[in-house]
Amino acid sequence: MRSGGFPCRVDGCSAQFRVLDASSMESLLAASAERTAHEASTHGYTHPRPVDEPRRASPYIAKTKAKNA
């Protein structure tokens, strides 16, 4: 059953971390930080960061600069 919060990402762990105020970014970040702290302290787990992809210049900006030149 989904609770609207963050479940622990370690298989077999049923811990859930609730977002207390759904309209608050601070509450969302606090629930995420609680989950991360739980995973690190209880399971020794750190979630791998996604690979940063190189950013490309926007074609819109290039067209605008050429038009104004």
Range of the domain at 33: 1-47
- Per residue in 26-67, pLDDT (tens digit) is 999 999 999 999 999 999 999 888 888 887 776 666 555 555
**Cα(46)–Cα(41) distance, integer angstroms:** 10
Query: In terms of pTM, does the model score above 0.85?
Result: no
Among the listed residues 9, 17, 3, the one whose alpha carbon sits nearest the alpha carbon of residue 48: 9
Q: Where do we find the tokens 């970014």?
A: 25
Asked, for residue 62, whether it belongs to a domain, the answer is no
What is the number of domains present in the chain?
1
* Phi then psi dihedrals of residue 34, to 5 deg: -60, -45
